[in-house]
Chain A
Amino acid sequence: MSRIRRALLALALIGLALPARAEQPLLADLSGHLIAITTGFTGTSVVLFGATEGPGDIVAIVRGPERDVAVWEKRHFAGLWINGASVTFAGVPSYYAVFSNRKLDDIAPPSAQALSQIGIANLHLDSLDPETKPDAATAFRAALVAQQKAAHLFGEYPGSVAFLGERLFRATLDFPADVPTGNYLVEVLLIRDGKVVSGQTTPLVISESGVNADLYEFAMNNAALYGLAAVLIAALLGWLASLPFRDA
């Protein structure tokens, strides 16, 4: 785990450097800004570390790339359970996690949480169809959140940010094996007396790397050529397989 050791070293350096730049109330960084998904990828973690000037709580919000998500509700029809009504939500983060040193409600009042969009409850999830009834949308929204939580793609982790002394903090951000790829943003907030006093945003890129990335790119950007190659390789393997039986 040399990555974590390096992070801790950097953490210590920041601690040493802090007195020189006392105006900066919050400094934070990640142990790495690129997560490469290779063939053997089974999930990974990134260390968030930093220092604060003065007391306060730390909340880190990690957001994955946004996309539109349709939520389908099954209904009983002719004895079968089939997809019926659906609500499509626009700009749903494919990954959303809130890391904090203690419970969000202890850190800031609900109004402040809503203002700064902290926590899953304050995620702006709007239906693409303006005619969706609000109460119907609520049920679908709840289902969306529940499923994302179950897949470890949405989550709130109070207590995951640890203070080392009064000013240094660190947190381990875990990402599951099927984490969506794309550009992530990590927003770190320093909250004092229920108010956000300082914030810093760092990018995090999760991308497929090596053969995987090439294949994925190839499949998406050169779909026709990829399809052709897939067919030819399969046919070639089939032909090779028949060789041992040639004389049979």
Chain B
Amino acid sequence: MGILDIYLPIAGVSLDVIALLALGTAVGVLSGVFGVGGGFLLTPLLIFIGVPPAVAVASSANQLVGASVSGAIAHWRRGNIDFLMGGLMLLGGFGGSALGVWLFALLRRIGQVELFVSLGYALILTLLGALMLIESTRSLLRRRRGGMRRKLHQHTWLHGLPLKLRFRRSKLYTSALLPVFLGFCVGVLSAVLGVGGGFVMVPAMIYLLRMPTAVVPGTSLFQIIFVTAAVTFLQALENNTVDAVLTMVLLVGGVVGAQFGTRWGAKLRGEELRVLLALVVLAVAAKLVFDLTVKPDDLFSLGTIDA
């Protein structure tokens, strides 16, 4: 408790402004360096410092609206957004986020939000960490050995799906169902876990859709703006869990952090750094699972019932 405590009206707790600003900045730096939204670290950290999980999830989504607008504008100026692809993802994303918010309200009623959020994060972080680790060590090895390019177009059953469309900016001719489905999955994730889903979207766009790397971050951010906006709106409407004061403080920190992050990222980016991030992500996942398997000190927990 210090002089700089700020009372968060929706969360109903007082927290240190400096700690919140630092958290926002740290996540901003991360998003600048690695090009991910950082929601997957923000939500667990907010819960860790005492924000109720439901409020942490909803407010993180709100924070991501601001963060992704900022990022998407930068990519748009460089012409790196495939609006057709993004629009289709968005279509799925709205459906997914509506389902997600409904699912979240249901989980809250049956008292399983905590479990679901922890398990969901553990699963996603493990997948993500493993993928990143494999990818980055591979490219590390490839660089050392030098050579061996992968085939430009690998055809799988995914390319046999109907409703094919031509995506000019991505230089692709593929089924519209793919981006819609991808958007739907990320929409659910976004609502239930308070993440933008960039860390799922980006690898999926590269490895599943096989989009050119240059247009991936911009297109991902473009659709994340709208999905997180929809999630924020629906969470506010259904669950009253968006704390605007918390969001603003985090955003102010995040804006500053992203500036530094982008500059450092330009100098630091490399396979070694991605290996490091992969290890951190895997460690967080391991900790989440470990916490669920250890017998808690207090077997009981309270939950208020909404009228």
Could you list which residues of chain A lie within 8 angstroms of chain B, going by C-beta atoms?
A: 37-42, 67-76, 79-83, 86, 88, 140, 143-144, 146-148, 177-178, 180, 208, 212-213, 215-216, 219-220, 223-224, 226-231, 233-242, 244-246
Contacts and interface: CB of A to CB of B under 8 A. Distances in A.
A81 B251 contact: no
A147 B302 contact: yes
A83 B225 contact: no
Q: Which of B63, B66, B71 has the most CB of A within 10 A?
A: B66
Nearest to A231: B229
Given A215-B245, A235-B66, 10 more contacts: A74-B301, A80-B293, A212-B245, A215-B244, A219-B236, A230-B233, A234-B247, A238-B66, A238-B255, A241-B258
A230 B68 contact: no
27 contacts: A42-B5, A68-B305, A70-B111, A71-B300, A71-B301, A73-B300, A74-B300, A75-B299, A80-B293, A81-B292, A83-B112, A83-B301, A147-B301, A177-B13, A178-B14, A208-B9, A216-B9, A220-B240, A227-B236, A229-B244, A231-B229, A238-B65, A238-B66, A239-B73, A241-B66, A241-B70, A241-B258
B67 interface: yes
Contact of A41 (B7, B248, B294): B7
B300 A72 contact: yes
Contacts of A246: 77
Contact of B73 (A140, A229, A230, A242): A242
Interface of B: 1, 3, 5-7, 9-10, 12-14, 62-63, 65-71, 73-74, 77, 111-112, 114-115, 119, 225, 229, 232-237, 240, 242, 244-245, 247-248, 251-252, 255, 258-259, 292-296, 298-305
Nearest to A68: B305
Contact of A69 (B236, B255, B305): B305
Contacts, number: 183
A230 B9 contact: no
A68 B304 contact: yes
Nearest to A244: B259
A81 B296 contact: yes
Contacts of A70: 111, 302-305
A233 to B, nearest CB: 7
Given A39-B6, A69-B305, A212-B7, A227 B235 contact: yes
